[in-house]
């Protein structure tokens, strides 16, 4: 469908401090793989972040920490474009144009807004409501063709496709914007809480024992895995059985993902073992992968001028593409 366009991956991540294993295995590790095959643009989406109030100091720190985590996990700022969204003004400009293309009825269907606004919709920011239009602008400002997304963003990407189509139709430019395709991780993309296998691993869960943070020490990782909820049955290779044991399945999935093996292979390897043995294996592989990343994050975080430089360079590269596309877009819309 997008054969007129060069393959280009775009993804955005909200700035947050203290990234965890779920952020790594669910998103960043995949970004690192993608940059080996395709041109990629990764944006730390600070404009999205302020749809709910952010303490300015914390926001700044979160942007730095997200960048440090990206680099420590293996994103290459020389190869891919890495920048913070607010430093390229085209995002906000195109978002306005899309506010006028997108329909109220479309936004009213967005389930994430309903969840995030909760029962007090009247008090939600207008930005939170039109956030999917901004996300469409992020992607289409670069005419990106592929977007790695988790389950929770699929509906927003659908909306982006609707906006691209409507713009192309309204202005009679049938191939102006590509219709971006989702890239869904084939392996598992959801790391669950270590305390409750039905809940996503999250920074907002109260207990720190529910997650592995990228900056955890060896001791912390070992303790958290030891305490992780499981059951007293042995590991079986029967996937149906495991589906009824979400905590067990989660740990086996984490092991597979960290060691780059399929779940089937892990199950064969671990079949018949009890969880205390498996947990030792799991904390060993986690420590070997996560602790070097954590150390690197801490190091990078100390060098703010390096981080600022990376963001500035990234923004400059992003701007070249954005400015060219935005000029065409303005022309199409009829601006002088």
Instruction: List the x/- string, 148-187, binding to ligand TRP by CB under 6 A.
Output: -x---x--x-------------------------------
Number of residues that bind ligand TRP (CB under 6 A): 13
186 given a catalytic annotation = no
The single residue among 14, 99, 217, 236 that binds ligand TRP, judged by CB under 6 A, is 14
The nearer residue to ligand TRP, 15 or 197, going by C-beta atoms, is 15
**Residue 94 binds ligand TRP, judged by CB under 6 A:** no
Q: Tokens 């390096």 appear where? A: 306
- Separation in Å, CA 262 to CA 188, 248, 266, 281: 10, 16, 6, 16
The single residue among 8, 9, 12, 41 that binds ligand TRP, judged by CB under 6 A, is 12
36 given a catalytic annotation = no
**Residue 259 binds ligand TRP, judged by CB under 6 A:** no
Output the smallest distance, CB 160 to ligand TRP, in A: 8
Please pick, among 60, 166, 187, 203, the residue that the annotation labels catalytic.
203
The single residue among 147, 282, 293, 318 that binds ligand TRP, judged by CB under 6 A, is 147
Q: Tokens 């294993």 appear where? A: 21
Is the distance from CB of 30 to CB of 185 less than 8 angstroms?
yes
The single residue among 139, 164, 228, 252 that binds ligand TRP, judged by CB under 6 A, is 139
Separation between Cα atoms, residue 311 and residue 306, nearest integer Å: 9
Is the distance from CB of 229 to CB of 194 less than 8 angstroms?
yes
**Residue 135 binds ligand TRP, judged by CB under 6 A:** yes
Residue with the shortest CB distance to ligand TRP = 12
- Alpha helices, DSSP H, located in the chain: 21-23, 29-37, 46-49, 56-73, 90-99, 104-108, 111-117, 126-140, 154-170, 218-227, 239-243, 246-258, 263-270, 275-302, 304-333
Please pick, among 29, 143, 200, 224, the residue that the annotation labels catalytic.
200
The nearer residue to ligand TRP, 72 or 141, going by C-beta atoms, is 141
Separation between Cα atoms, residue 157 and residue 185, nearest integer Å: 15
Is the distance from CB of 205 to CB of 20 less than 8 angstroms?
no
**27 to 86, contacts with ligand TRP by CB under 6 A?**
45, 48
**Using CB under 6 A, which of the segments 76-84, 145-153, 188-196, 249-257 binds ligand TRP?**
145-153
Is the distance from CB of 209 to CB of 196 less than 8 angstroms?
no
The nearer residue to ligand TRP, 134 or 249, going by C-beta atoms, is 134
The nearer residue to ligand TRP, 9 or 287, going by C-beta atoms, is 9
The nearer residue to ligand TRP, 137 or 251, going by C-beta atoms, is 137
Is the distance from CB of 146 to CB of 113 less than 8 angstroms?
no
Q: Tokens 């963001």 appear where? A: 311
**Residue 10 binds ligand TRP, judged by CB under 6 A:** yes
203 given a catalytic annotation = yes
Q: What is residue 202's DSSP assignment? A: -
Separation between Cα atoms, residue 218 and residue 199, nearest integer Å: 25
Q: Shortest CA distance to 6 belongs to which of 39, 31, 32, 41?
A: 39
Query: Catalytic residue numbers?
Result: 116, 200, 203
Which residues contact ligand TRP by CB under 6 A?
10-12, 14, 45, 48, 135, 138-139, 147, 149, 153, 156
């Amino acid at each position: 469908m997008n054969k007129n366009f060069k393959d280009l991956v775009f993804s955005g991540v909200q700035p947050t401090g203290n990234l965890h294993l779920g952020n790594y295995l669910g998103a960043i590790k995949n970004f690192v793989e993608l940059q080996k095959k395709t041109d990629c643009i990764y944006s730390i989406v600070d404009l999205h972040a302020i749809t709910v109030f952010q303490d300015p100091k914390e926001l700044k720190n979160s942007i730095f920490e997200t960048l440090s985590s990206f680099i420590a996990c293996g994103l290459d700022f020389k190869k891919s474009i890495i920048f913070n969204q607010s430093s390229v003004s085209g995002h906000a400009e195109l978002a306005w144009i899309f506010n006028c293309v997108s329909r109220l009825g479309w936004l009213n269907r967005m389930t994430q807004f309903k969840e995030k606004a909760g029962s007090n919709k009247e008090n939600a920011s207008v930005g939170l409501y039109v956030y999917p239009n901004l996300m469409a602008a992020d992607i289409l400002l670069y005419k990106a063709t592929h977007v790695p997304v988790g389950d929770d963003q699929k509906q927003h990407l659908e909306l982006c496709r609707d906006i691209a189509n409507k713009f192309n139709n309204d202005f009679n430019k049938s191939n102006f914007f590509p219709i971006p395709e989702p890239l869904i991780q084939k392996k598992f993309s959801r790391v669950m809480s270590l305390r409750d296998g039905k809940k996503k691993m999250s920074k907002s869960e109260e207990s720190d024992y529910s997650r592995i943070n990228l900056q955890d020490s060896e001791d912390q990782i070992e303790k958290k895995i030891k305490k992780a909820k499981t059951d007293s049955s042995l590991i079986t290779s029967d996937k149906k059985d495991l589906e009824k044991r979400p905590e067990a399945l989660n740990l086996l999935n984490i092991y597979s993902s960290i060691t780059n093996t399929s779940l089937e292979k892990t199950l064969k390897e671990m079949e018949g073992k009890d969880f205390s043995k498996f947990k030792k294996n799991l904390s060993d592989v986690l420590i070997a992968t996560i602790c070097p990343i954590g150390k690197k994050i801490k190091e990078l975080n100390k060098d703010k001028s390096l981080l600022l430089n990376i963001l500035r360079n990234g923004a400059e590269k992003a701007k070249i593409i954005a400015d060219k596309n935005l000029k065409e877009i303005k022309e199409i819309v009829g601006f002088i």
